Structure formats: structure tokens, C-alpha cells
Structure 1
Amino acid sequence: MTLPQSLPPRWGLTVPLPGLTIDRHRFIVERLPDLGYTDVWSAEGGGTDAFTPLAATAAWSPSLRIGTGIVPVHTRGPAVLAQTAATLAQLAPGRLLLGIGASVPAHVTDINGIPFDEPFKRTRDVLRFVTRALRGEHVSGDFDTFSITGYQLPHPPADPVKVILGALRPGMLKLGFTEGDGAITNLLFPEDVPKVLDAVGPQPPGKELVVKVFVCPTEDTEYARRATRPFLAWILNREPYRKFHEWLGHGELLRESHELWAAGDPEGAQKALPDEVVDGLFISGSPEECRERILRYHRPGVTTIQLYVSLPPEVFVSRARLLDTLTRLGPAAG
């Protein structure tokens, strides 16, 4: 059973916005529901942790849904993940999505000193543990990648917490929908969404498919390319994303960048990224043009569009300018 085609997507904003520390976001979060946004999302890699921004959001807004997209499964123990989610759920009952995933070695091994071992199995095991723990079950026994002597949450969430997986290719996508509450995917072109949906297969009601879309709302195309190309070259040359785009059929498009990166030439790898890749994976243009392109990601089965918005410097001149930009990008603009 697929989701109804008429079902409108939820719209989420990733916080903190680049260039703005989380303590300066309250005025944004408080206004988001008026602008049509339904969610606030956060992520965890090499900068801000995923949970503190969501705790602040829960305190600042009584209505916004909050989600992690994603928390790496290697860098926090299974019980720590469960208890952190359960605590956050007390602040936002019925409004929390816990997004977990394998992440990339750069965020697991390079900066945390933790081996990036068996990412699929580790993600599956953490999903199984956390799902059971959040239901209040006593969990004990051996998993493939860890063993639990015995753990039970003293205060499991009264309202269910959805657990979704960061997923790129079919194995993780199917795991998210068979054993979890769905998946979150990102860094793909709008025309790639049907292939992801095909890999997911039939979606029972209540399952989530979140698509994270990267946006730089400026009409200065050269600025947008300079600002976003280094990140894209870095992330697209991580093995999970390289394999993702090979599966999507973009291997030849990215071949030169991959070869230069492997040869130890990151600057050359950046320059070798075709403009069509930079412009396609990190949308730029006027807010209205960006919004039109964002809407191309909404296909039947996509339940949430999560925006990662990198604002140009001129937008930060005033709160009014910033809110106006988010308004023109968002769902209420239509």
C-alpha cells in the first residue's frame, strides 16, 4: 500500500543554520510554524551535536516535530542512544523521530578513534536494540556487533518514538522500512527519487521517507558554486556516497573527481566536479527559483522534505531579511 498521492509533504529546516550558533535561533524556531514549516532537524558529524538543538527547539516551540538526521551508530552506545531519545521525548511527546545511521569513517574513526566496523550490521543491531528499548522492553543478549548484559529504560516514552535510518542504497533502505519506521536519504537529484522509491517498495501507512535537500538561496551562481563545491567534493568522495551515486548511475559523471581524490589531489577533485553536479545537488537561485526546484523532490511516497539552507552573507544583515528568505523558500510561499 502506497501513500496517497494527494498527501502534502512535511517541511523541515535543519538547525543550526551555517554561520549562526544555536543560541541565536530562538526567533527563527518560534516563527517556523507561521511560515508553514512543520519540523526541525539536526545532525551529528564533526560540528554541533544532534540532540542539543532539538532540546532547545522543544523548549521554544510546542508544535514542531523534531528529528535527528542522523546520529552515527558507532559513536554513542546503544543504551546511551535509547536514553537520550527517551529523555528528549519527554520534552516533545509524540513529536520525536530518531534518525540513526552508519555515517562515514571521517566522522567515526578520523575524529573519534572508533573503528568503522561492519556499518550495515552495526546499524541493524542498534536499530533493533533501540526500537525494543524505547518500547520499554528489557533487552539482553548477543547481537552481531555488541552484547548487552541487560538494559531497560526506567521511563520509556509514553508516546511512540519513530526510529528511521539514514539510507542510501537498497539494503539500508529496505532495512529502514522493514524493521524501522522509514528512512532519510540525501544528496541526490530529483530524478533519482523514483529509483529510491522503487528500492523501498510498498510503504505501509505511517512509515517515513525523508529527503534532505541542500539549498543556497542566492542568484550569484559563482558564489554558490564557490561556497558549496568544497563540501560536495568532500562528501561525494566518501565511500558510502561514491557507491550511492554509482548505484544511481552517476559513476561516469563523477569519475574524474573520484580519480583525482584517490590520487591525493583534493583541489583537483573539487575543480573536476561538473557544474551540473554542484548546481543539481546544492540548489541555488532566488528563493522562488529554489522553492520550485525543491518541489521536484516531492513524489508520492516522500513524506518530508528536509532543507539544509546555507544562506549567503547578505541575508544575515537583519532578522527580517533572514525570516523573509525562509518564508519565500518554504511551504507557505505557495
Structure 2
Amino acid sequence: MSDSDRSPLAQPHWGVTLPLPGISIGHHRHIVEALPDLGYSDVWTAEGSGTDVFTPLAATAAWSPTLRLGTGIVPVFTRGPAVIAQTAATLAQLAPGRLLLGLGSSVPAHVSDINGIPFEEPFTRTRDVLRFVTRALRGEYVADDFDTFSIAGYRLPDPPTEPVKVILGALRPRMLRLAFSEGDGAITNLLFPEDVPKILDVVGPQPVGKELVVKVFVCPTADKDHARGNARPFLAWILNREPYRRFHEWLGNDGLLREVHAAWDAADPESAQKAVPDEVVDGLFVSGSPEQCREQILRYHQPGVTTIQLYVSLPPQALSSQETVLDVLRKLGPAAG
């Protein structure tokens, strides 16, 4: 699909992933209250081995009457399907019409290693949870045998009065197609700006209302050594998780990561970190002054991308005061334009 075949370049939503590293969730109220004035429309969360995905959004709903709330993502293995639907419906009561429920398989390290839950048939489990939760949030009575679980009979007592968008964390074609054929869109992340057209080609033209959220990792500092030192351990770890290895193989980036994978497979994580090329670190975890970071972030703003979600790892000096934090977020975001 050529650029001319895609939809016009509309202004995207801009979101920030909370909590910001180095700031506890209880100290985010002033940040959340300021985000709309800084041009941000969304707050997003993630869930792995730290903060859960729902609590920061419940706090955000109490602190802001306008921000959209996005989960990026709720792991489909670590909560039962009905619990996911119940929690989403409860959050939707606090933020009617403003919830984007992102579901995804997560990775074995977050499912099996720390929760003791088998990581089996991730695509099928994600599809089944998507189908169940979508029906439950519409208020349907669900009694069905899915491929990975059975529901004896369930109906939400108080389904959302306004629709909840259900989207998927998606990296490769099969999950991307599911996200847009049966869901309301997808969240993707850890890719170079030049990889975005490949995602868009798989997705194809979409009707208004479907979401393509691109998560961009940012370390706004001119201290390149700090930025790379901050990013390398995370990148060496995440790029060796099976979904992300396969993702970058599909994108054609496996040559850049061959030495990283070899060192990791040899049980040498320190060498794997050192082997991550600077161009990969700088491309997947944007750094530089806030103004330079914003220029790089805007490269992800391509036709079909509806939301830019920032994961901001602030340098220590930026955490010195509330005003400094907000100033950095302002310079990174849409209000800077």
C-alpha cells in the first residue's frame, strides 16, 4: 500500500505512560491534572513485574474528568476472563466513554516465571479473551466453550453505559489482523519509525474509530552515556523475549540483533547488553534534549497512527521538582508545536 492509499495525516492523541519511573503513583496527581494543558489526551499503563495496570488509571479517573484511560496491556493469562471484564466495567463507570482496554499475551517471564501460570497458546488465549470480554462489556449473557476456557454462564450486572474500546497488544501479522478484524485496533511498540509502514500495510485502511497506538520509549537527556546505560539492560532483556525476537525477525532487523541473541542464548546477559548496537539503542529508546526527542517522536506520526504513547524515563536532574517534570513533558508533547 502506498502512502497515497492511506488516510490523511490526522492529529493523533498523545499519551503518557504512568507511573513515571522514579515517582510513586501517589505523587502523580499534579502531573495528571496538568496533562490536558500540556496537550496530552491520554494516560496509559503497563503491567509486568511492578505496578498493576488498573490502579493508576482509577487514580487518574479521580484526578481528571477528561483524559482517556488506556491499558497497554492487561495480560490475558494472569486474570480470569470475567475478572478482566468486571474490572474494565468498574473503571468504565469512573470514566464513561474514555476507556481503551488493551489486552495481550504478555511474555512467559511475566506469566510463568513470577505467576506460575503456563504460557500456552498465546494467540488463541488472547483471541478467546477478546471475544469473551467484548461480548460481556456489551451486556450479553455468555455461556460458551472457547478453545482455551469454558464459561458456564456470565453476564455483567452493570455493563458500561458507553462503549469500551477493546484493543490488542500486537506485533506480527496474525495478531494485528485479529486486533482490527475483531477488536477496535492495536498497540505496538519497540520498533523503528521506518518499521511503521510494514505494520500499516498489514492493517490496511481502517474505518474511523479504530486505533493504532504506537508506544515510544524516551529518555530526554543530552547525556548519551546515561541514556544508553539506562536503555541497554532493558533492551537486551526485552529483545530476547520470544515475541520480540520474532517481531524483529519479521521486520527484517534480526541482522542487527544477531550478536545480542547469541550472547543471551549463551547465558551471558552482560555481553548481550554490550552487544546491543548504538543504532538500536538510539532508535528504540529515543534520547537527546527534549526538543531533539520530540523531533524523533514525530517520525512515528504517520498516516494510520491514531495515538502516540510515550514511556518517559526521566534523568535524575529532571526529577528535582514538579515544575521540571512538567516542563520536560511539555517540550516532548503536542503543546511544544
**TM-score strictly above 0.5:** yes
Partner of residue 287 from structure 1, selected from 280, 287, 290: 290
In structure 2, how many angstroms separate the alpha carbons of the residues matched to 1:251 and 1:109?
26
Give how far 1:204 is off: 1.5
Give how far 1:4 is off: 3.8
- Say yes or no: does 1:211 pair with 2:214: yes
Partner of residue 109 from structure 2, selected from 106, 109, 112: 106
Deviations 1:59-114 (A, max 9, x none): 00000000000010000000000000000000000000000001100000000000
Query: Which amino acid letter does the alignment assign opposite residue 104 of structure 1?
Result: V
- Say yes or no: does 1:175 pair with 2:178: yes
Equivalent residue for 1:68? 71
In structure 2, how many angstroms separate the alpha carbons of the residues matched to 1:55 and 1:129?
23
TM-score calculated relative to the size of structure 1: 0.99
Equivalent residue for 1:309? 312
Query: Which amino acid letter does the alignment assign opposite residue 84 of structure 1?
Result: T
Give how far 1:280 is off: 0.4
Partner of residue 325 from structure 1, selected from 299, 319, 328: 328
Q: Secondary structure at 2:97's aligned position in 1?
A: coil
- Say yes or no: does 1:157 pair with 2:160: yes
Give how far 1:222 is off: 0.6
Summarize the alignment of residues 46-195 of structure 1 with structure 2, pairs less than 5 Å apart.
46-195=49-198
In structure 1, how many angstroms separate the alpha carbons of the residues matched to 2:173 and 2:22?
35
Partner of residue 225 from structure 1, selected from 224, 228, 241: 228
In structure 2, how many angstroms separate the alpha carbons of the residues matched to 1:43 and 1:276?
26
Give how far 1:3 is off: 6.8
Query: Which amino acid letter does the alignment assign opposite residue 198 of structure 1?
Result: D
Q: Secondary structure at 2:110's aligned position in 1?
A: helix
In structure 2, how many angstroms separate the alpha carbons of the residues matched to 1:289 and 1:247?
29
In structure 2, runs of 5+ residues without a counterpart are: none
Equivalent residue for 2:252? 249
Deviations 1:270-292 (A, max 9, x none): 00110000010000000000000
Residue pair 1:3, 1:205 contacting (<8 A) in 2 also = no
Give how far 1:202 is off: 2.0
Query: Which amino acid letter does the alignment assign opposite residue 190 of structure 2?
Result: L
Residue pair 1:2, 1:205 contacting (<8 A) in 2 also = no
Identical counterparts, % of pairs:
77
Query: Which amino acid letter does the alignment assign opposite residue 88 of structure 1?
Result: L
Give how far 1:6 is off: 3.7
Residue pair 1:2, 1:203 contacting (<8 A) in 2 also = no
In structure 1, how many angstroms separate the alpha carbons of the residues matched to 2:49 and 2:56?
15
TM-score calculated relative to the size of structure 2: 0.98
Residue pair 2:48, 2:110 contacting (<8 A) in 1 also = yes
CA RMSD of aligned residues (A): 1.0
In structure 1, runs of 5+ residues without a counterpart are: none
